[in-house]
Amino acid sequence: MKTYDLSSDSLRELNQALHDADITASEREWRVANPNGAHNIACGLNDAISVDIDGHAGYYCAGMNQKANVTVHGNVGVGVAENMMSGMVHVKGDASQSAGATAHGGLLVVDGNASARCGISMKGVDIVVKGNIGPMSAFMGQSGCLVVCGDAGEALGDSIYEAHIYVKGSVTSLGADCIEKEMRQEHLDEVSDLLKRAGVETDPAAFKRYGSARQLYNFKVDNASAY
Amino acid sequence: MTDKQSNPALRESATFGRDVIAEIQRAAETGIYDIRGWGAKRKVPHFDDLLFLGASMSRYPLEGYREKCGTDVTLGTRYAKKPIVIDTPVTIAGMSFGALSAQAKEALGRGASEVGTSTTTGDGGMTAEERGQSTKLVYQYLPSRYGMNPDDLRKADAIEIVLGQGAKPGGGGMLLGQKISDRVAQMRNLPMGIDQRSACRHPDWTGPDDLAIKIAELREITDWQVPIYIKVGATRTYYDVKLAVKAGADVVVLDGMQGGTAATQDVFIEHVGIPTMAAIPQAAQALQEMGVHREVQLIVSGGIRNGADVAKAIALGADAVAIGTAALIALGDNHPRYEEEYQKLGSAAGYYDDFQEGKCPAGISTQDPELSKRLDPVAAGKRLANYLRVITLEAQTLARACGKSHLHNLEPEDLVALNIEAAAMARVPLAGTNWIPGQQF
Ligand SMILES: Cc1cc2nc3c(=O)[nH]c(=O)nc-3n(C[C@H](O)[C@H](O)[C@H](O)COP(=O)(O)O)c2cc1C
């Protein structure tokens, strides 16, 4: 295991090493000590390595991740795993706003709570939040799944496209064009699989499904007040 | 709408002109606001209101065609390990694949590459055609993040974070369902045939302090190799430019209200933002006060049509310009050879602005395979290259007349204004006077 200590090593050195395919070919396991909330830790990874961050991370931790497995033993700031393409990001603590924003693939797991705009504009990523999520989550969500074991805040799934949302607890309110939908077998399977991958033991049948009513897909003047 | 009524007793209202009446009737009939392409059509103070003071006794001109007048520009000297060097200060602005056909994007790449300048992606991501044909490609990073992926980011020669556009500062985008082909839908990860809304705010940051961290992230991901631009629509330009510099931009792209668009509400195009000419002095002042003029480069767009516009923008403080509408016209947009078809669409050559409909007879603003095929990317690219050469030569001609051995040596002192509005906005004297409205001396 290769360790970088951000109390003495620079973030630039760390990220440069993590991006260097010659180095990551032989060093598969990495540890980041003393992250101290630094921004942009382990962003832009492009190899199937594993990175453990021992503490809190700032903004855009594991941003645009591809293939790598990043675990944060602490909380993360805004935009964790934003625009992730593949791989997995696991936050052991809480996540700030815009967790998994615009991500196209991979799995993001938050053990604690995630703040506002979780999964905003999600484009294929799967997100499992064991706690609660804040308002405006999955805004304009295009595809992928957002599974919430706790409660969801206001305006869930506003202007949503084809993303799937599953919430076990309460939903303060649904956003424009987002409705509750029937939970069929395929959805139970989908939730069950994601819970398994995130290491959560809960009954998938306890979740409700939310998605697009598809009423705002093409502009109609009669819907003007919904915009 | 263009023919004059022959009966002199009929008086058209200045307030309720026929175009205004037609729009009220259209709104009443359809219940939908007017969405269109192109830029502002109203008359606003522009570069035509400025004139150069050629050299004579007190200044020494350069010999046209013989004495050198440099045109190269280096963009991204502040932080990037690999700044972009362009041979002419005219770049191609970001226009999305989706709004434009793949052939049009390829033609833009070909034309720009032939004269050694850069082209830019747009909403919807990077296509192989444009990467392949563009020697210098700027990758736009937009609020929608449609088609945004780190592999393309790493393939880019520069990254442009789009905060706004001159045609719609404060507004998002809209690609109407009829333009969503399979390929466009797939690149954007959305169902076919639905309206694609592009958000007006970035999903993972708010405000200049966050933007600084976002820029740092993009630099970390690309290992500090390529320049990072910030594009803003011209509104509170002085402050926006200062904040962009503070956030760490290498280059500021400033798009005035005349700037083109693929599809925006007409009310937005015509009523939001300030003219390009008014924005440049604000930007230059901000850069000068921060001591980074020419170190953080300024690219200006919005209504650039000819070499005079290029030279005037540079004299007012720009390092380079970007063109959208003019580039499309050079490719073949609004060409009279399609007059009949424009008529069928309820328009005419020279007026066509319904880019959102996807029925462009010239094969440019469309995703229809049959229409797109009409545009030969090689021939269209050649026309664009010709045009870019012409306007570069024109700018050089004016610069030499002012005694400048490089376009960058042009300065506000070389300009005067034809009217008070232009003098106040451009901050140059009214012709024949030493009066700059609003300034003390
Ligand atoms: C068809 C078309 C598509 C455009 N698409 C984008 C875009 O995707 N992103 C962007 O920042 N600006 C876009 N623009 C604006 C241009 O980048 C540029 O700011 C503008 O065209 C400059 O003004 P001009 O057209 O007067 O040269 C588009 C403009 C046009 C005409």
Predicted confidence (pLDDT) per residue in A71-84, tens digit: 999 999 999 999 99
Both B21 and B65 in one domain: the answer is: no
Residue A225 alpha carbon to ligand 1 centre in Å: 29
Domains contained in chain B, number: 2
Mean pLDDT, residues B298-320 taken together:
98
State the nearest Cα–Cα gap between B194 and chain A, in angstroms: 5
- Is the shortest distance between the CB of B165 and ligand 1 below 6 Å? yes
Domain membership of residue B440 (yes or no) is no
In sequence order, what are the residues at sequence separation of 6 or more whose Cβ sits closer than 8 angstroms to the Cβ of residue B225?
B80, B81, B82
Shared domain for B179 and B214, answered yes or no, is yes
Q: Alpha carbon A123 to chain centroid distance?
A: 11
Which DSSP category does B322 fall into? E
Q: Around Cβ A39, how many Cβ atoms within 10 Å?
A: 23
CB B315 within 8 A of CB B411: yes
Q: Which residue in A189, A165, A178, A181 sits closest to A214, CA to CA?
A: A178
Give chain B's end-to-end CA distance (angstroms, integer). 48
pLDDT at A224: 62
Cα of B15 to nearest chain A Cα, Å: 27
Q: How far is CA B24 from CA B2, B27, B30, B150, B151, in A?
A: 18, 5, 10, 46, 48
Show the CA angle centred on residue B121, arms to residues A227 and B244, nearest 5°.
75
For residue A33, list its beta bridge partners.
A5, A54
* B173 and B265 in a common domain: yes
Compute the nearest-CA separation of A78 from chain B (Å).
7
Question: What's the mean pLDDT in B228-242?
Answer: 98
Confidence class for position B1, pLDDT limits 50, 70, 90: very low
C-alpha B340 – ligand 1 centre gap (Å): 27
Is residue B42 scored above 80 in pLDDT?
Answer: yes
Angle value at C-alpha A219, between A213 and A221, nearest 5 degrees: 105
> Above 80 in pLDDT, residue A226?
no
Q: Which domain holds residue B13?
A: 3-38
The pLDDT value recorded for residue B193 is: 79
Do residue B394 and residue B290 come from a single domain? yes
Query: Does B319 lie in the same domain as B231?
Result: yes
Does B31 touch chain A if contact means CB atoms closer than 8 Å? Answer: yes
Do B56 and B191 lie in a common domain? Answer: yes
The arithmetic mean of pLDDT across residues A11-16, rounded, is: 98
Superfamily grouping for domain A2-216? Glutamate synthase, alpha subunit, C-terminal domain (2.160.20.60)
- In this model, does residue B2 exceed pLDDT 60? no
ipTM surpassing 0.90, yes or no?
Answer: yes
pLDDT band at B3 (very low <50, low <70, confident <90, very high): low
Chain A residues near residue B222 by CB distance under 8 angstroms: 44
Same domain, B295 and B190: yes
Contact (CB, 8 A) for B70 and B407: yes
Which helix (H) or strand (E) element contains residue A113?
Answer: none
Of the listed ranges A103-117, B193-207, B237-251, the one predicted with least confidence: B193-207
Number of neighbours of residue A54 by Cβ within 10 angstroms: 16
Q: Where are the domains of chain A?
A: 2-216
Residues of B in contact with A142 (CB under 8 A): 188-190
**Per-residue pLDDT tens for A100-140?**
999 999 999 999 999 999 999 999 999 999 999 999 999 99
B186 pLDDT exceeds 90?
Answer: no
What CA–CA distance (Å, rounded) separates B239 from B262? 27
Mutate to test the pocket of ligand 1, among B261, B323, B384 (most ligand atoms within 8 A of CB): B261
Q: Is the CB of B138 under 6 A from ligand 1?
A: no
Residue B95 lies in a domain: yes
Atom of ligand 1 nearest to the CA of B166: 19
Which tens digit of pLDDT belongs to each residue from B43-53? 999 999 999 99
* Cβ-defined contact of A63 to B149 (cutoff 8 Å): no
Share of chain B above pLDDT 70, in %: 98
Between residues B6 and B259, the one the model is more confident about = B259
Dihedral of the alpha carbons of B334, B337, B342, B344, in degrees to the nearest 10: 180
Task: Check residue A222 and give its pLDDT.
Answer: 66
- Helix B377-401 and helix B307-315: axis angle, to 10°? 50
Are B241 and B287 spatial neighbours (Cβ–Cβ below 8 Å)? Answer: yes
**Which neighbouring-strand residues pair with A46?**
A66
Q: What's the average model confidence in pLDDT over B86-105?
A: 95
Query: CB burial class (10 A; 0-12, 13-18, 19+) of residue A17?
Result: middle
B168 and B308 belong to one structural domain: yes
| Residue B409 DSSP symbol | G
* Alpha carbons A35 and A39: distance in angstroms, whole number: 9
- With a cut of 70, say whether residue A199 has pLDDT above it: yes
Say yes or no for a CB contact (<8 Å) between B204 and A66. no
Q: Are residues B347 and B328 in the same domain?
A: yes
Q: Are residues B282 and B194 in the same domain?
A: yes
d(CA B350, CA A3) in angstroms, rounded, equals 64
| DSSP state at residue A225 | G
Q: Residue B266 falls within a domain, yes or no? A: yes
Q: Whose CA is nearest to atom 9 of ligand 1?
A: B122
d(C-alpha B380, C-alpha B367), whole Å: 17
Q: What is the dihedral of CA B123, B127, B132, B136, to 10 degrees?
A: 10
Q: Which tokens go with B116? A: 């050694």
**Closest atom of ligand 1 relative to the B365 alpha carbon:** 1
CA gap A100, A109 in Å, rounded: 10
Residues B196 and B244 in one domain: yes
**CB A128 within 8 Å of CB A181:** no
The mean pLDDT of B264-273, rounded to a whole number, is: 95
Residues B146 and B291 in one domain: yes
Integer Cα distance of A45 and A68 in angstroms: 6
Residues of B within 8 A of A15 (CB-CB) are: 220-221, 223
* B435 falls within a domain: no
pLDDT digits (tens, 9 = 90+) for B341-396: 999 999 999 999 999 999 999 999 999 999 999 999 999 999 999 999 999 999 99
Give the residue, out of B165, B255, B305, with the most ligand 1 atoms within 8 A of its beta carbon, to mutate for a pocket test: B165
pLDDT tens profile B14-28: 999 999 999 999 999
What is the SS3 assignment for B216? helix
Of A16, A140, A219, the CB nearest to B195: A219
- Residue B431 inside a domain? The answer is no
> Is ligand 1 within 6 A of the CB of residue B179?
no
CB contact under 8 A, B150 and A66: yes
